[in-house]
Amino acid sequence: MKVAIVGATGMVGNEILAVLSAHNLAIDSYLFVASEKSVGTMIEFQGKSYPVIGLATAVAEKPTIAIFSAGGETALTWAPKFAEVGTTVIDNSSAFRMMPDKLLIVPEINANLIQKTDKIIANPNCSTIQLVMVLAPLHKKYGVKRVIVSTYQSISGTGMKGVQQLENEKNGVSGEMAYHYPILENCIPHCDVFLENGYTKEEMKLTNETKKILDPVINVSATAVRVPVSGGHSEAVNIEFENEFDLSEVRAILQNTPGITLKDNIDTNTYPMPKYARGLDDVFVGRIRRDESQPRTLNLWIVADNLRKGAATNAVQIAAYLIENKLVD
């Protein structure tokens, strides 16, 4: 069992290594893969030193699984080359997510769809993953009709450029701008590029990916906002159901859903916050209350570490499912 990490030197790549260390998977050897400028550098992992190798070298090694976190263009070019030699690719970019012949997987929800013949599997967008983790059990029980979601997304979602811009602004240093405006003491209602319909690509990911993962009949309207938080995405979510619900039952359903931690007690000021989700794999949900403006509608607040369950953890969980269910050789 040989696993390649493509983009091993990046932010998500580092998180993948941390998650792999925490999950005791039956992996015999690793390949750490990055761009040519990083080839030859060393990565310390589980007490061993590994040289970083290039993509062509990694393909020649024919790994069992390749976890990609190297951007859409790299994925489109190289994922099929890995697949051709028998490798199962798990890709973190948006390159394959909406392709009809590619699965979009959140293991707790739809891992059962994976077949041995699926050689390129897409990891959903970070903000989508935490949303559908909460929607899935509620949709099963009550039937989700419409979702309005406003996201409060950390600068780590932009990568190192976003992190560096915030640090520069905190320290009064001029430097490269990841955003059109300062992010310190600011909120920017602009995540990814704008599309012809006036929504951003990030907002449409929430709409389209939710439909693909859960149910095409669910209507989703999103507003995505970048906030000066180092890590962790938050979402204010309004859910209209087909059927009536009971608040205590909603809480019980979520409390008993694997991968979700309920933090919902206003008497003790207990609710999810990104500061306290950092480095954790669960999705946190709270502020659960009925929308008093219309029937069968619920408000809640969802928080998760976007680099963990939103990226690295979900990818490693897919790899674990492949290994445990003998879907890879």
Query: Could you give the residue numbers annotated as active site?
Result: 126, 233
Classified as helix, coil or strand, 309 is helix
CB contact burial 259-295 (16+ within 10 A = b; e otherwise) = bbbbbbeeeeeebbebeebbebbbbbbbbbeeeeeee
Looking up tokens 């590029």 gives 193
Please count the helices (runs of H) and the strands (runs of E) in the chain. Answer: 9, 14
Q: Name the residue among 313, 320, 317 with its Cα closest to residue 15.
A: 313
Query: Measured between alpha carbons, how far apart are the two ends of the chain, in Å?
Result: 8
Length of the chain, in residues: 329
- Structure tokens, 77: 């070019």
